[in-house]
Amino acid sequence: MSRIQAAIILFTLAMASTALAARPDSPQQARTHPVARAVDINQAPAEDLEKLPGVGPKLAQQIVAYRTKHGPFRRIEDLLIIQGIGSKKWQALRPYVCVGCWTGK
C-alpha cells in the first residue's frame, strides 16, 4: 500500500467518524435547534427554553413553574435547583443562558 492510499484511507476514516459524532443520539437532540443568543431564564417562555440543549417541554415547564412560584433566578447556577438539571446538563446550558441579560426584544 502506498503512502497516498494510506493517507486517503485515514482521511476517509476521520471524515466518517466526524459525521457519526455529529449525528444526534436521540429525537430530543435532533429537534433542539442551536440558540443564536443567550436566553434570559427569568423572561423566556417555555417555548424559548425548549430550544436550549437538553431541555424538553417538561423541563422547560419546570423552570417556568419554579420561577413563577419562587420569583426570579438570581444567577444561572440557580438552575441546579431544578430537578432534572445536574452539573453535566448545567455545563451544557451555561453558554446559552443568562440572568437579566438584554435579549434584543
| Residue extents of the structural domains in the chain | 1-25, 32-98
- Cα angle: 99, vertex 48, 92; to 5 degrees: 65
Give the tens place of pLDDT for each residue, 35-82. 567 899 999 999 999 999 999 999 999 999 999 999 999 999 999 999
Which residue stretches of the chain are H helix?
3-22, 27-31, 46-49, 57-70, 87-93
Cβ contact 82:66 at 8 Å:
yes
CATH number of 32-98: 1.10.150.320
- pLDDT band for position 31 (50/70/90)? very low
The pLDDT, as a whole number, for residue 23 is: 47
